[in-house]
Each structure stands twice: as C-alpha cells, then as structure tokens.
Structure 1
C-alpha cells in the first residue's frame, strides 16, 4: 500500500552547461527566450511547487513543450534537477546517492510509457516479470505475481505472445501489468494512453481507475488531454512553458480557470460530467425540510439530471456520505450549470 505522497519544492531545470548560474536571473524574471538567445540555455522547469497526495492520482497536463515530461522524469531522477527538492518518505530524491537511487527506482517506482517500451524478444509473461527479474526475485514467485496482473488487465491466454503479435491497446496492458507486478508505491505514467485509439483509451482509463480503487497507489499521470485529466485526476496541475499555472481538483479548474489560457482549455469541457451537485447546491434554509429525491453530493450534474428526469421530479435534496440532507437543487439550476460556461473574467468580477 502506498503511504507517502510526493512533495516537489522550488524545482528548477535549466538545460545547458551552467544551468545553476542562471537560476537567480530566471527567478528575477528573465524570460525563456532571453535565456536561450543570450546564454544558450533552455528553461525546462521554473520554480515548481506541487504536492502529490499519497494514494491518489495527480495529473500533470499541458501542451507539448510545457515541461510535463521533464517533470515526471525528475521523480525517478532520469533527469537531474538544477535545484530544488523532491521529498518522498522523508528523503530528498535529489540528494540520494547512487545506491539509494537505484534502490528507489527498483522498488518504489514503476513507469508506463507512451511507446509501451516492451522488450520485443520477450513474451507477455517475460515482459511482465522483467522488473522482478532485475530485483532478483525467484522465478516461481515472480511468475505467480505476474500472472495475477496479466489476468487483472485482461490478457489471460496471451502469456506466450510477443509484443509484435499484440494490438497497441494490448501492448499498453502489458506495460501496466509489468508496472503493477513490480509492486511499487509510485506509478509514473507518461502520456501512457496518448497513442491509443479513443475507445481503447477510455477502456484503459477504466482499467486504471478500477485497479487504483483497490491499490491506492501514488500515481503521477501525464497528459495533454483535458477530458482524460478530468476523468482520472484527483488533483490536476497545469503547466505552461515550464511554469505551474494552476493546480486543484477538476471542479476547481473547470469552475475557476486561473487565466485565459486555462479558460480556453475548459471551454469545450462537458461540464455535466465534471461538476458535482455539492458544488452548485443551495444550503437548506432554517425550517426547510428536504424535498424531492435524495441524491449524493458527489453525483455529477449529468447523472443527477437523468435520475430526476426518470423519476419525474424537478427538485432533489443533496445528502452527504452519512446520508444527512445538506442542500437542495432543482432541475432548472442543474441544466443551467451544465450549459453556462463562466469565463474566468466573469468569475473574477463576481468574486470581486
């Protein structure tokens, strides 16, 4: 079971011979373009601070070149930071010596790549046990573990196939089974589903969510796709040009985009599938009893509208996890919240 989150503090990555020399200049506002034009160094990450809670999925999203793949590769130190800290289980990954780092990579992290990164000359089963082979686990034990995850990701019967005999979606299932067989606390998924067809992609998202509900790993998932981020992320962090623009729950980001860049992202979102009843409900006034259908606060607007319509009800009361009434909603309000995108400007004006 994962028991530790990851804390990233003041992380900088400047690519080039003397990256450290330019941290102060970047901190004081030197732009990415000035850094490259004047000094021939590339700003990869600028002062990243993010808390990735234990046992949950943190999605890091942004367009290509935003720094998201650079960020995930710092977590297992495939890329050396220029400065900053990455704290896991009380230790700073950036300060680990070679032995500690090797141990951390082998036992604490597993990675799932966009291009699958399977070994072509090894079968599905042999690819799945690969991480345990490196750890020196006995074959009988590793095969048993691997078989469990091969079954769980839906590949029973394919154990003796080679990667080139499998579709992209099946190859990605092998990648996931291999990562899970390793039994690492931290699962790093770098654009893991980006190369897959849309339907297979949704299928793989479901597989991940089901497994995560059981295992509660600390998952860091990189994507450029907002729908994927909203479906998977307990927390979402949005990067642009190596900087953190906004982080929070999917609700936070859709309802209160931090700037025009994020507003443009969230404009196309199906709000009915993201926003929850607890976000839009009215508090129950004094002396007012609950009316209409009882619906959980965590239910999405789309599902609430379906439930109310099929029950022929226009009002509902919202209940918390203990079943206690905490608010009320009506169908008209639900539909309005589903179709009215609030631009960050109007939201900000309302807040002021």
Structure 2
C-alpha cells in the first residue's frame, strides 16, 4: 500500500455563473475527516473535484497532495449510489476493480469482506435481489476490497438501520485505520463518533469544528461524543451559530 498522503484543496467552484463554494480544506494524512453541511452546499462536489470527475461547474484553485505525488490510483471512492452492475453477482461486483485492471481477483479477501458486512450467504445473488441496505453494504465491501491509502466515502451508511450502521462504522474504522479518509455525511452523530477532524461547510467557508478529546472510534454513548453531536446539530439548524 502506498503512502496515506494528506490532501489540500483551495479554491472556488462556480456553477451557472454562481459561486457554489469557496473552500480551503486540508485532509490530514492517515486521519478521518468528516465533512458536514446542508444539502446542495457542495460536499459531494469536493470529492468529485479531487477525483477529477465532472462536476458541471468550473473550479479555480489548487488540489495538492502532501507528498507532491499524483493522486491517480491511490484513491478508492464509494458514491452515494451503489453503482452495482446488475448482471454480476454480489461477489463479482466486489471484485470488479481487479477484473477491470486485468488482474486476478483475490476471492478469499472478497469473501472475507462479504462475511464482515453480513452478506456471506448472498455472494451468488444479483443486486436486484438485495434490499437497499444490502446493496449499500456490498458497495462498502467493494470499496474496502480496493485497499487504497486514500478513501472517499459519500454517505456510505445512509441506507442502513441504526444497529447495522454502527456495525459498519466500526468495520470501516478498523479496516481503514491509518488511511486518509474523507467521509461526507449529514449525520452529526456519525461525525462525532468517527472523525479525527470535523469540517462544517457552507457556501462562504469551511469551518473546523472541535472534536471530542477521546480518539476515534468513540463509543456511541460517550458523554463528549453526545455533546459534540448535540452542538453540531444545533449549529447546522442555526439555533446556535457559534
């Protein structure tokens, strides 16, 4: 595995001649950064800009890695949509990256991850036989299978029930320990539990939010975690802007 470099993005993104966001964001290497903000503020666009994907707008600025090396082939990305190929089995969807690169898939690793996301009995099934939550867990397993030093997760647990969400948070925190992770979420509780760094994004700024003193992954019922969650929610609702 190559180095888990930090990433800095600094610049403006315009859409239809309107400023979507003005961002100055640093992702520390080997740490989890959770990005929160209201819908439409540009959180997913940040991910797509770093990945070099089409955003429908114009970005003026710089995106750099802390080691000055190209980011190509160092990032795995889990989008909001599961993007599973309907004609492939669950197991083959997990291994699709290896097949597209022309390398032999590590079936044992894929099966182990399938078991870790609770789907070992469904590896032979096609995606249309799965529930939305099962599809999302398959997409998570596919992302973890890639074993990249930099990982972007866009609402990766949104379709899961509360218990399964907590389990998948713990799995992701374990497997991705020491990686540079950018997690886009609307859930203050998720950010308070998982983040080494919390960034609250608006059209005018990216604000660093204080995290609990305890290291991530934090207990769900930890008082500092609950306090961080409550204050984040209040801020996002504009009840207490400071």
Q: Deviations along 1:28-51, whole A, 9 cap, x unmatched? A: xxxxxxxxxxxxx121221x2222
Alignment CA distance shift 1:74-1:227 (3 Å): same
Match of 2:59 among 54, 69, 82: 82
- Looking at structure 2, the residues matched to 83 and 204 of structure 1 have their Cα atoms a distance apart, in angstroms, of 36
Aligned pair partner of 1:227 in 181, 184, 189: 189
State TM-score, norm by structure 1.
Answer: 0.57
For 2:9 and 2:79, locate their aligned partners in 1 and report how far apart those are by CA, in whole Å: 25
Greater shift in the superposed pair: 84-93 or 155-164: 84-93
Q: TM-score, normalised by structure 2?
A: 0.80
Give the whole-Å Cα distance in 2 for the aligned partners of 1:64 and 1:344.
Answer: 18
Q: 1:212 to 1:45 in 2, by over 3 A?
A: same
Identify if the C-alpha distance between structure 1 residues 44 and 69 changes in structure 2 by more than 3 Å, giving closer, same or farther. same
Alignment of 1:12-161 (within 5 A): 12-16=12-16, 41-46=17-22, 48-79=23-54, 82-88=59-65, 89-91=67-69, 104=72, 107-138=73-104, 141-161=105-125
Structure 1 CA distance, aligned partners of 2:19 and 2:162? 33
Q: 1:272 aligns with which of 220, 223, 226?
A: 223
- Gaps of at least 5 residues in structure 1 are 17-40, 94-103, 253-269, 277-299, 301-342, 346-352
For 1:53 and 1:44, how far apart are their aligned partners in 2? Answer: 24
Contact 1:124 1:162 in 2 (8 A): yes
Could you tell me how far apart the structure 1 residues matched to 2:141 and 2:226 are?
32
- Deviations 1:231-259, CA, capped at 9 Å, x for gaps: 11111110012531x2144238xxxxxxx
Per-residue CA deviations over 1:3-31 (Å, capped at 9, x if unaligned) read 23333242211124xxxxxxxxxxxxxxx
Contact 2:7 2:29 in 1 (8 A): no
Higher relative contact order (CA closer than 8 Å, sequence separation 6+): 2
Q: For residue 217 of structure 1, report the CA deviation from its aligned partner.
A: 1.8
More helix by share: 1
Distance 2:94 2:142 in 1: 4
CA RMSD of aligned residues (A): 2.7
Query: Where do residues 249-264 of structure 1 align in structure 2 (5 Å cutoff)?
Result: 249-251=210-212
Distance 1:128 1:92 in 2: 25
Q: Determine if contact 1:125/1:160 at 8 Å carries over to the other structure.
A: yes
Q: Deviations over 1:60-119 (max 9, x none)?
A: 1001012111111112111465222211231466xxxxxxxxxx1xx3111112222211
The count of corresponding residues between Structure 1 and Structure 2 is 222
2:200 alignment partner in structure 1: 238
* 1:169-210 CA distance string (max 9 Å, x none): 222221111112222221111112223333332232222223
1:327 aligned residue: none
Residues 10, 63 of structure 2: 8 Å contact kept: no
